[in-house]
């Protein structure tokens, strides 16, 4: 089994993003996550979807979820719809977005697979809370559920990996913890059933606490016997 990795792309222009996507593929990425909150508003993102490098994930983080700039919800909604219509393979919608189910349906009708995502930058909630969040993500009708928390102790990794092992059998899931203490769950989550994990393009391009480079991630997997 080859663990799958998505590389986050924090580019401000389409040209820069395209170059980064092709580099990500050369370094062993399976997906590229385009962070639309980094992209300038007047950039033609539809050009990105024409690349044949690797499948693209469109993501537009709100300021609450540590997006690169302040934005209104309607701006994020329209940008995600535009990405789906342009041909992005996946579109990530934050769980807090109003009318989540309706926008998931709109994105699906445009031909995109969908991700309902939840982020906690303060810590890792209780197991009961995590399962409630997972239920809400699945209830939205999204193709994938994404639960990303912050590890405050090593045991948080074990709880998330246990959830991934259990929930991964019943549906597609991305689940790990941010922060230095969360690196274990970043690395091991695909081995426990997660659809993929996340890495940065290099050490200088990290967009989340604890994110390590694609080369570093592939080296770890190679040492573990996963080429």
Does 16 score more than 90 pLDDT? yes
Query: What was the pLDDT predicted at 46?
Result: 86
Instruction: Read off the pLDDT band of 189 (50, 70, 90).
Output: very high
Q: Residues 165, 137: contact at Cβ < 8 Å?
A: no
Q: Residues 124, 84: contact at Cβ < 8 Å?
A: no
Q: Residues 24, 201: contact at Cβ < 8 Å?
A: yes
pTM of the complete model beyond 0.85? yes
Total domains, the chain:
1
CA distance linking residue 41 with residue 97, whole number of Å: 20
**Catalytic sites, residue numbers:** 119, 146
CA distance linking residue 165 with residue 65, whole number of Å: 26
* Residue 175 belongs to a domain: no
Give me the half-sphere count of Cα atoms (radius 13 Å) on the Cβ side of residue 52: 0
CA distance linking residue 194 with residue 190, whole number of Å: 4
Per-residue pLDDT of 100-154, as tens digits, reads 999 999 999 999 999 999 999 999 999 999 999 999 999 999 999 999 999 999 9
Query: What was the pLDDT predicted at 169?
Result: 72
* Residue 152 belongs to a domain: no
DSSP-assigned letters across all residues of 156-178: HHHHHHHHHHHHTTTS-EEEEEE
Per-residue pLDDT of 37-55, as tens digits, reads 999 988 898 888 877 789 9
pLDDT higher at 41 or 185: 185
Instruction: Read off the pLDDT band of 168 (50, 70, 90).
Output: confident
Q: Which residues contact 223 (CB under 8 A, 6 or more apart)?
A: none
* Residue 134 belongs to a domain: no
Per-residue pLDDT of 80-109, as tens digits, reads 999 999 999 999 999 999 999 999 999 999
CA distance linking residue 169 with residue 173, whole number of Å: 9
* Residue 131 belongs to a domain: no
Q: Which domain holds residue 99?
A: 5-115+181-223
What's the CATH number where 31 sits?
3.20.20.70
How many residues belong to the chain?
227
Angle (nearest 5°) at CA 73 between 72 and 75: 70
CA distance linking residue 147 with residue 54, whole number of Å: 23
């Amino acid at each position: 089994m080859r663990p799958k990795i998505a590389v986050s792309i924090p580019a401000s222009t389409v040209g820069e993003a395209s170059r980064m996507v092709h580099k990500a593929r050369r370094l062993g990425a399976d997906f590229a996550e385009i962070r639309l909150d980094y992209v300038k508003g007047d950039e033609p993102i539809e050009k990105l979807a024409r690349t044949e490098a690797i499948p693209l994930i469109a993501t537009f983080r709100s300021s609450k979820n540590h997006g690169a700039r302040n934005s209104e919800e309607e701006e994020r909604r329209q940008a995600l719809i535009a990405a789906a219509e342009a041909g992005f393979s996946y579109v990530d919608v934050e769980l807090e977005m109003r009318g989540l189910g309706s926008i998931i349906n709109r994105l699906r009708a445009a031909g995109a697979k969908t991700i309902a995502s939840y982020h906690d930058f303060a810590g890792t909630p209780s197991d009961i809370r995590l399962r409630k969040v997972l239920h809400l993500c699945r209830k939205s009708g999204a193709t994938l559920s994404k639960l990303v928390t912050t590890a405050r102790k090593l045991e948080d990794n074990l709880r998330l990996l246990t959830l991934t092992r259990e929930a991964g059998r019943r549906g597609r899931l991305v689940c790990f913890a941010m922060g230095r203490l969360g690196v274990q769950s970043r690395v091991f989550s695909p081995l426990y059933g997660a659809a993929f994990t996340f890495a940065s393009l290099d050490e200088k391009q990290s967009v989340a606490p604890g994110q390590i480079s694609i080369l570093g991630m592939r080296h770890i997997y190679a040492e573990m016997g996963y080429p």
